[in-house]
Amino acid sequence: MKAWLSKYGNYVTFFILLFLLISIKISNPSFVKSISFISFDLYQKIFPLEKNETEVVIIDIDEKSLGKFGQFPWSRSVFAKILENVNAVNPKAIGFDVFFTEKDKQSPKEFLKAYNLIPTDVGEIQNLKGHDEIFKEQLEKSKSVTAVLGSTVPSHSNYDRKSKARFLAKGGDPKKFTYSYPYSIGSLEMLEKSVKGLGSISFLDQTDGIIRSLPLIVQFEKKMYPTMGLEMVRVAEKQKNLYVEMNEVGISKISARPHKILSDPNGIIWIKYKKSLKSQYISASSVFDGKFDEARFKDKYVLIGASAQGLFDLVKTPLGVTIPGVEVHANVIENILDQSYLIRNPNTYVFELIFSILVALITFLLSQKIKPKYSLSVFFGSLVVTIIIGFSYFLLKSELVDISYPIFILTITFLTGLYFRFIEENKMALANLQKEAKLLKERELAGGVQKSLFPNIERFENFIYAKNVPARDVSGDYYDVVKVSSNEYFFTLADVSGKGIKAGMYMAKASSIFRTLSNLSYPLEKVVFGVNNELVEAKFKGMFVTAVFGKFNIETGEVNFVNAGHESIMVFDRNKKFEFIKSEMPPIGIIKYFTESMVKSNKINLKDKTFVVYTDGVTEGYLKNGQELGAEGVQEIVKDLQNTTPKVIVDSIAEKLDWGAEKLRDDITCLALNLNNTELIKPAKKKRPENQEEDNK
């Protein structure tokens, strides 16, 4: 069990985390809703509804009107006059986003009570018609709708209020799914009985105070009422009934013929806001004075509400602006009329959960399998796909898809995956360091093996010369030259990863394979192919070789070479014009080659040119001033030479670096090839023992 947890513990932790995140989403607490609202609001901020004309006009109780009529609430006679003037041009419906909960204190009877006057004192004043009565008469003549608000406490002026709209339901009882308030607040009974409709102005409580949605149907005292916008549409269309269609999860559609509105299971509509239009507003004082164009109200929906700061009827919207509450109802009417409202489909919620799980799974699993830079691409790709899906549904289908919480889940799981990957790679790095420490102890034993690998190439030093200066007892570098005919030679310069006996054995195997295949006069590509595959089969874990392999013809001057993950090759002509040829292949001994075509070789003609190869011990070697030599430093050494024979070049580079320091930074190994003088040098000493291969074979 312990071994299983060690191997799959990361995945167990991930699945537990994912389960918790999905469970939180399903429970949908307030902070999760806040995350979802981020994307819902973003849709409308980026793509707000554009409208230049509207069928809804707002009579504004603004600062100008307050200055004219005084403090609010005004006398009912003011509203009666406004209603009379508007009703004269035949609007479709008039809605009041204002309550008339108490009797008008400026009415004659209320005036008498206020000053404790008796009828004999005021004569005929008691016979004057009251302001409430005047307002009531105007309400009866118009297609008017007054406001009703849900409450958790009873109102002192409450009565047995009834909705003006009749609800017809199909497929179930909508009362089981609508929001409910135990009490309601409205206007005076005499006024409400004179209007054609009663509309709810109740908003759903939002933690951030932004009005994104409202219920089309709501219950007050176990009686159903339509929202203000829906009620005004019903009154305007002269309909008595509102039709509610149900399905297995709740309310699906609400109709005020001929308008049909899709809703969520609780009868909620998500409002799509337009940018506010100044032309939609007209001051109440102007309407009272009759200073308006009759076309302004003819066949229009008219709302009466307040924008004045002191009346505190201002709300925040997803567009990031604050508007009068009456404008929210105006947007609802517009949404119903042109079918521009937003939809929050229950099936979309299920899709969001499944999509979040799939994307999180894919991102986490890939983060454990591929390199971090590629898993980062997968992460950002998933983000882009999520965003595209959300905005596509909004623009094409007016549906709200929550992309905020899926992105939240995606980010958490991705970071978790990276953390686990970081831990695993740290363990691997620590293990490698421990192995290296062990290998350092074996260097002395490997020294003899390493030294026996280097050939005697004194006879060829007129045209090819190489030198190795080990930094420690064991060198990880190697070079070799093999004469295969009177005109053709193979050569190599290599650097093995790792040190010690294992490195010596690895290099010994590589050198023996190279010599064997070279003596068979195979093409260079086949030699490299064979060396690589034999090293892969040798299964020296964690070890590889960077090397330059070459074959040259001293008559034609042609050099065919392969750079397998090694330092750049330096080539220069008689004018000291330099060129650096970079590696086009990975080091050998890592992956198996399936065909010789996987070996990438290059050709160059060395007539009047010099070919120089070196290990990183040269470029990273220290000069006397403590600076690294670098490739530029090698180039400067060559530029200062009067004689550029292979031996002079190699000895000059080695001398520059091997200046008497106690320990070199790394092995110094360098090889130079120049075919201007291809004469062999006669050996000054006796031939090497018979058990070694003859270099002039």
User: Which among 492, 88, 500, 54 is positioned nearest to 278, based on CA atoms?
Assistant: 54
Separation of alpha carbons 481 and 693, rounded Å = 12
How confident is residue 696, by pLDDT bands cut at 50, 70 and 90?
very low
Q: CB 301: neighbour CB atoms within 10 A?
A: 27
Average pLDDT for 658-684: 83
Separation of alpha carbons 545 and 552, rounded Å = 22
- The pLDDT of residue 483 is above 70: yes
How confident is residue 284, by pLDDT bands cut at 50, 70 and 90?
very high
User: Which among 60, 51, 57 is positioned nearest to 299, based on CA atoms?
Assistant: 57
The confidence score (pLDDT) of residue 147 equals 94
Average pLDDT for 549-558: 95
CA separation (Å) from 578 to 426, 611, 638?
Answer: 42, 10, 10
Predicted TM-score (pTM) above 0.85: no
Q: Which two tokens stand for residue 564?
A: 């397998």
Separation of alpha carbons 150 and 223, rounded Å = 11
Q: Are 155 and 129 spatial neighbours (Cβ–Cβ below 8 Å)?
A: no
Q: Which two tokens stand for residue 340?
A: 């521009």
Q: Are 24 and 32 spatial neighbours (Cβ–Cβ below 8 Å)?
A: yes
Give the pLDDT confidence of 129-149 residue by residue, as tens digits: 778 899 999 999 999 999 999
366: part of which helix (H) or strand (E)?
helix 346-369
Which of these ranges, 324-333, 532-541, 630-639, has the smallest mean pLDDT? 532-541
Separation of alpha carbons 679 and 462, rounded Å = 7
- The pLDDT of residue 28 is above 80: yes
Residue type, 167: F
Write the DSSP symbol of residue 126: G
Q: Are 106 and 315 spatial neighbours (Cβ–Cβ below 8 Å)?
A: no
Q: Are 86 and 58 spatial neighbours (Cβ–Cβ below 8 Å)?
A: no
Q: CB 20: neighbour CB atoms within 10 A?
A: 11
The confidence score (pLDDT) of residue 691 equals 47
Q: Which residues of 642-658 are buried (b: 16+ CB within 10 A; e: fewer)?
A: eebbbbbbbebbbebbe
Length of the chain, in residues: 697
The confidence score (pLDDT) of residue 11 equals 83
- The pLDDT of residue 104 is above 90: no
- End-to-end C-alpha distance for the chain, whole angstroms: 63
Give the pLDDT confidence of 387-441 residue by residue, as tens digits: 999 999 999 999 999 999 999 998 998 888 888 888 887 888 888 887 777 666 6
Which of these ranges, 95-104, 160-169, 415-424, has the smallest mean pLDDT? 415-424
Average pLDDT for 439-465: 76
Average pLDDT over the chain, rounded to an integer: 87
Give the pLDDT confidence of 312-333 residue by residue, as tens digits: 788 999 999 999 999 999 999 9
Q: Which two tokens stand for residue 464?
A: 């090819």
User: Which among 446, 575, 565, 557 is positioned nearest to 499, based on CA atoms?
Assistant: 446
CA torsion angle 27 32 36 42 (round to 10): 170
The confidence score (pLDDT) of residue 128 equals 65
Separation of alpha carbons 559 and 568, rounded Å = 16
CATH of domain 444-674: 3.60.40.10
Write the DSSP symbol of residue 670: E
For the chain, how are helix, strand and coil distributed in percent, rounded to 5?
Answer: 40, 20, 35
Separation of alpha carbons 499 and 616, rounded Å = 15
Separation of alpha carbons 470 and 663, rounded Å = 10
CA torsion angle 444 446 447 453 (round to 10): 180
Separation of alpha carbons 43 and 399, rounded Å = 10
- The pLDDT of residue 670 is above 80: yes
The confidence score (pLDDT) of residue 683 equals 76
- Residues paired with residue 322 on neighbouring β-strands, in sequence order: 316
Where exactly are the structural domains of the chain?
2-30+345-439, 50-338, 444-674
Average pLDDT for 529-550: 89
Q: At CB < 8 A and 24+ separation, what contacts does 356-363 make?
A: 356/21, 356/22, 356/25, 356/405, 356/406, 356/409, 356/410, 357/18, 357/22, 359/385, 359/386, 359/406, 359/409, 359/410, 360/18, 360/21, 360/409, 360/410, 360/413, 361/18, 363/410, 363/413, 363/414, 363/417
Q: Are 324 and 77 spatial neighbours (Cβ–Cβ below 8 Å)?
A: no
